[in-house]
Amino acid sequence: VSTALIIMRVSVCLVLTVFCLIAFISQADAKKGGKGGKGGKGGKAGPSGKSGKGGKGGKGSQSSGFGGAPPSKGKGKGKGKGKGGKSSEESSEETGTPNTNSGSCTCDVASLTADVLAGVATTIADLTSQLATVNTQIRELEEPDVFSCKRMSGYSDESAPVSYTACDVEQPSGLVDLDSGKFTVQRDGVYRLTFTARMSAMNGQIIRTDMFVNDVLIGRSSANLDTFDTQTNTTSTTVLDLETTNTLNQMYELKAGDEVYVNVNYVGTMSLIQSSMNYQIFFTGEWIRAL
């Protein structure tokens, strides 16, 4: 669900960014407004004088912005009055002053557009990076490191880790060395580790299976008979054997390069873990999540 929300957020941000850019450019163009109207005609000339000045042109209207009405042309109506004075030969032609109140925009649209596009590019780069991270996390969840190995025969050697006959599941391959019985971690993370075995505690003794990470004990499973009778406060002298299937199941944080394995530990000389063609000894591991 969190992954879908992140992807949806990225899509919405991209759409809003493009829409805002279009609206900004349209607003800048709208500020230019319509052209001012032409000035009115000059008045008649007075005696030996020059003609009166023409009336001012009407102001051009500005559009209302994005999606607004187009600008309208201004209208002007002039009214002049002659002024007596110098003769027409001596009169000099006056120069008109430009109309500075046209309402036009002095914005540098090209520069503003470049700035907006640069900001959009940065946002897209950030979103792309976040999306790549999410894709990596999805791949890790879809393809976790996992194995399930089994042993066909019994085992009683306390001096070496339990070895295995084959692995039903091993992704990627090479996680477990069947001969040494060691799982070598390839990816940092939290792992679920299990060891299941048919345990035989012979002659009333105890047997244990110990799980190690780099020679450090992290978990133990044990089987034995309690020969003490709480009702009579006596210990039974009857020698009994115990056959039971135990499972050690735990989660543990592991780093790449760590080695995980299981040793047997028992009292006496006859206890052991047993198996057969039906497979009763299993060692499994599964990557759960990143650290």
Q: Which residues contact 213 (CB under 8 A, 6 or more apart)?
A: 252, 254, 258, 259, 260
What's the rounded Cα separation, in Å, for the pair 148 and 104?
A: 77
Q: What is the pLDDT of residue 92?
A: 45
**Tens place of pLDDT for every residue, the chain, 291 residues?**
555 666 666 666 666 776 777 766 766 665 555 455 555 555 554 444 454 555 555 454 444 444 444 554 445 454 545 454 444 444 444 444 555 555 566 778 888 888 888 888 889 999 999 998 888 878 877 899 999 999 999 999 999 999 999 999 999 999 999 999 999 999 999 999 999 999 998 887 889 999 999 999 999 999 987 777 777 787 777 777 888 999 999 999 999 999 999 999 988 788 889 998 889 999 999 999 998
Q: What is the pLDDT of residue 179?
A: 97
> Does pTM top 0.85 for this prediction?
no
Q: What is the pLDDT of residue 177?
A: 98
**CA quadruple 10, 16, 20, 23: dihedral, nearest 10:** 150
Q: What is the pLDDT of residue 203?
A: 83
Q: What is the pLDDT of residue 82?
A: 46
Amino acid at 44: K
C-beta of residue 150 within 8 angstroms of C-beta of residue 167: yes
What's the rounded Cα separation, in Å, for the pair 256 and 204?
A: 41
Which regions of the chain does DSSP assign to beta strands (E)? Answer: 146-151, 166-171, 176-177, 182-184, 189-201, 207-213, 216-223, 228-229, 234-235, 242-254, 259-266, 272-274, 281-289
Burial of 151 (0-12, 13-18, 19+ CB in 10 A): buried
